[in-house]
Amino acid sequence: MAKPEILILSSWYPTKDQPFLGNFVVRNAQLLQQRYNVTVINTIPSATTSTLTVQENKTNGYREILVTHPRGKNAYSKKRWQKKALKRAFLKTNHFDLILGHVLLPKALQFVIAKKHFDCPLILVEHGSYYREEKLSNWSRLQKYILQYSRKYFDEVIAVSDYLKKDIQSSFPSHHIRVIGNHIDTNAFDLNDSNAKETTEFLHISTLDPATKNPQGIIDACSILDKKDEKFHLTIICDEDYSEWQAEVHDKGLNKHISFKGPLSWHDLVPYYQKANAFILNSIYESFSIVVAESWATGTPVISTSVGIASEIDPAYGIQIEKNNPESLADAMHTMILKKNNYSPKQLRDRAMLFSEEFILNLWTKTIETHVK
């Protein structure tokens, strides 16, 4: 029996200029290609081209069709070029049994065009953080239209965490919302052996976006601990420009406690997880947070705000802290310095297995089988 054909479209997908944008979609495609024939189509606006160009790759086990098109001078021309690019990609294909559309905004209308063209089921896979109450009220008329028009074409909606599911329910009142998390390569991680060290090692990995990741609160918490003469060190890893934060750390005399690394490849992150006593997540919002799952895979507890898969932390897996509260984070770091040996690496690793390739792939298989006969 031939493998089902799966088409993946996404509002976020890596490009030459933004190599980390939507890398979770790449991981999803790599996972599904183990059991299905997977094609990813991505349309890429460019200010430096006046024609359509098509690049077709066979990469990471799946097929990739990239169509670069003119950006367009106004909303109408942008939409027209996007439709042309998508139809050009369709000429490279025959049929699909199922479409997965990752992230509603801004490309959900493309998902609908593909559904109509191939006459097959369409599943929305949502990762976005824009459904929370304070963001929903700021949606533009166009964004509201995209939601209202496209949602009637979704055969199912998937959220990557229970935390995100709660936020999107009001936007999809007539849909069953299934939860399937992102996956991690648990085989890449071994249990750490960091508890024997005198200096407590903390780790933070993020874009350091002030609006969502709140790095300022992390630095402020370290300042509080510095005044108490605590023995600790924090490694901050970031793929973006962190010079501004590095300068603030220097100005506050925290260089002995905080160092910066990055950008690093995904595999190069593993040793940093394995030498950490605890991972710090101080975010205002996360729809999933892959770094939490990866920390647990190394037997490393987390200190986290109530977001994503860390929205309700069992004390066996780490410490919950208040959002926008450096004192709360400093207290948790102090507790971890005193009690870092109180966690069971095996128990933490077992928690991470809920996001292993095998576990998540089986969830996807059950879901796909309900739509593909």
Encoded tokens for 291: 């770094």
Q: Tens place of pLDDT for every residue, the chain, 373 residues? A: 689 999 999 999 998 888 888 999 999 999 999 999 999 999 999 988 889 999 999 877 899 999 999 988 887 888 889 999 999 999 999 899 999 999 999 999 999 999 999 999 999 999 999 999 889 989 999 999 999 999 999 999 999 999 999 999 999 999 999 999 999 998 888 877 655 678 999 999 999 999 999 999 999 999 999 998 889 999 999 989 999 999 999 999 999 999 999 999 888 999 999 999 999 999 999 999 999 999 999 999 999 999 999 999 999 999 999 999 999 999 999 999 998 889 999 999 999 999 999 999 999 999 999 999 7
Phi-psi group of 103: left, alpha or beta (phi > 0 → left; psi -120 to 50 → alpha; rest → beta)? left
Residues sharing a CB contact under 8 Å with residue 178, sequence separation 6 or more, in sequence order: 156, 157, 158, 159, 367
Encoded tokens for 162: 């229970």
Spatial separation of the C-alpha atoms in residues 162 and 165, rounded to whole Å: 5
Query: Based on the domain organization, do 238 and 349 belong to the same domain?
Result: yes
Spatial separation of the C-alpha atoms in residues 199 and 161, rounded to whole Å: 34
Spatial separation of the C-alpha atoms in residues 264 and 358, rounded to whole Å: 26
Match 């933490």 to its residue by tokens. 348
The helices-and-strands tally (H runs, E runs) of the chain is 13, 14
- Single-letter residue type at 34: Q
Tell me how long the chain is.
373
Compute CA distances 143 → 121, 132, 155, whole Å. 23, 14, 20
Query: Based on the domain organization, do 344 and 196 belong to the same domain?
Result: yes
Query: Based on the domain organization, do 40 and 157 belong to the same domain?
Result: yes
Spatial separation of the C-alpha atoms in residues 199 and 208, rounded to whole Å: 24
* CATH number, domain containing residue 326: 3.40.50.2000
Query: Based on the domain organization, do 192 and 133 belong to the same domain?
Result: no
Query: Based on the domain organization, do 159 and 195 belong to the same domain?
Result: no
Query: Based on the domain organization, do 221 and 195 belong to the same domain?
Result: yes
**pLDDT score recorded for residue 232:** 96
CA dihedral 249, 254, 257, 263 (to 10 degrees): 20
Query: Based on the domain organization, do 235 and 321 belong to the same domain?
Result: yes
**pLDDT score recorded for residue 220:** 98
- Edge-to-edge order in the sheet of strand 53-59: 53-59, 62-70, 37-46, 5-10, 98-102, 122-126, 156-159, 177-179
Encoded tokens for 57: 């790759």
Spatial separation of the C-alpha atoms in residues 161 and 251, rounded to whole Å: 39
Q: The domain containing residue 120 runs over which residues?
A: 5-183+356-369
Spell out where 89-231 has E strands: 98-102, 122-126, 156-159, 177-179, 200-205
**pLDDT score recorded for residue 1:** 66
Query: Based on the domain organization, do 286 and 193 belong to the same domain?
Result: yes
Query: Based on the domain organization, do 173 and 224 belong to the same domain?
Result: no
Spatial separation of the C-alpha atoms in residues 259 and 203, rounded to whole Å: 10
Quick check: helix, strand or coil at residue 155? coil
CA dihedral 73, 77, 83, 89 (to 10 degrees): -40
Spatial separation of the C-alpha atoms in residues 300 and 302, rounded to whole Å: 7
Query: Based on the domain organization, do 316 and 211 belong to the same domain?
Result: yes
Spatial separation of the C-alpha atoms in residues 61 and 71, rounded to whole Å: 30
Compute CA distances 114 → 99, 104, 124, 148, 350, whole Å. 8, 14, 13, 17, 39
**pLDDT score recorded for residue 16:** 86
Query: Based on the domain organization, do 293 and 174 belong to the same domain?
Result: no
Encoded tokens for 335: 């507790």
- Single-letter residue type at 296: W
Are 277 and 200 in contact, with CB atoms under 8 Å apart? yes
Chain centroid to CA 20: 10
Query: Based on the domain organization, do 25 and 173 belong to the same domain?
Result: yes
Spatial separation of the C-alpha atoms in residues 188 and 269, rounded to whole Å: 10
Task: Enumerate long-range contacts of 115-119, CB under 8 Å, 24 or more apart.
Answer: 115/153, 117/90, 118/7
Match 């979770």 to its residue by tokens. 24
- How many domains does the chain divide into? 2
Burial class (CB in 10 A: 0-12, 13-18, 19+), 264: middle
Spatial separation of the C-alpha atoms in residues 108 and 124, rounded to whole Å: 9
